[in-house]
């Protein structure tokens, strides 16, 4: 009977070279990407799929699952209590719209929706609050994260962006 060590040996080398960019920059002082990216005019390059008046929707460059979106206010703040009423309303509308787009385009079976408030709560960018919407499918968890310490992404970010951008263009107009 094969033991756990034998399973790991059979697994071989798993490559996720795109993660190194995140790991190397994780603790470096940087400009806020949630302020910097929407100020630029390259929405496709920055993975911004939708802009509204006070907030925007961006594809997570280091996703937990394909289609992992973040809803971010344009205004730089780390505190929910500092959001204005119109920002709160629009962020919630964008969460609902994002869920609608993901359902229409990617057909997930469920969602994780929430935010990590503060670095100790898991926020990678704690200085600028943002909400996560992670689409989930039956069977999207498997042995890879446990045995191989890796997550299998079934589609490139550029392909996911193109699909979701079309979805936001279609569903965003029909709100």
Asked if the structure places residue 21 within a domain, the reply is: no
Asked if the structure places residue 133 within a domain, the reply is: yes
Asked if the structure places residue 134 within a domain, the reply is: yes
Retrieve residue 82's tokens. Answer: 């500092």
Asked if the structure places residue 25 within a domain, the reply is: no
Longest CA–CA span in the chain (Å) reads: 61
Domain that holds residue 149: 32-173
The residues carrying an active-site annotation are: 130
| Full-model pTM | 0.77
> What Rg, from alpha-carbon coordinates, does the chain have?
18
Asked if the structure places residue 77 within a domain, the reply is: yes
Report the C-alpha gap between 27 and 25 in whole angstroms.
6
Report the C-alpha gap between 73 and 110 in whole angstroms.
24
Asked if the structure places residue 22 within a domain, the reply is: no
CATH number at residue 87: 3.30.428.10
Asked if the structure places residue 18 within a domain, the reply is: no
**Taken in order 114, 118, 120, 123, is the CA torsion positive or negative?**
positive
Domain tally, the chain: 1
Query: E strands, 60-174, where?
Result: 69-73, 110-114, 131-136
pLDDT tens series, the chain, 175 aa: 445 445 444 555 555 666 676 666 666 656 899 999 999 999 999 999 999 999 999 999 888 889 999 999 999 999 999 999 999 999 999 999 999 999 999 999 999 999 888 787 777 788 899 999 999 988 776 555 544 555 666 788 899 999 999 999 998 765 4
Write down how long the chain is.
Answer: 175
Asked if the structure places residue 69 within a domain, the reply is: yes
């Amino acid at each position: 009977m094969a033991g756990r060590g034998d399973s790991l040996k059979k697994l071989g080398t798993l490559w996720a070279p795109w993660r190194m960019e995140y790991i190397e920059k994780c603790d470096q002082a940087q400009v806020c990407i949630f302020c910097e990216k929407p100020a630029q005019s390259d929405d496709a390059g920055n993975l911004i799929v939708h802009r509204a008046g006070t907030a925007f929707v961006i594809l997570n460059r280091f996703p937990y699952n394909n289609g992992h979106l973040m809803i971010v206010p344009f205004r730089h703040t780390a505190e929910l209590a500092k959001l204005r009423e119109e920002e709160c309303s629009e962020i919630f509308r964008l969460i609902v719209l994002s869920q609608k787009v993901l359902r229409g385009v990617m057909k997930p079976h469920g969602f994780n929706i929430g935010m990590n408030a503060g670095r100790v709560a898991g926020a990678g960018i704690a200085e600028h609050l943002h909400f996560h919407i992670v689409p989930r499918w039956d069977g999207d968890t498997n042995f890879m994260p446990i045995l191989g310490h890796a997550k299998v992404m079934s589609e490139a970010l550029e392909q996911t962006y193109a699909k979701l951008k079309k979805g936001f263009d279609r569903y965003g107009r029909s709100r």
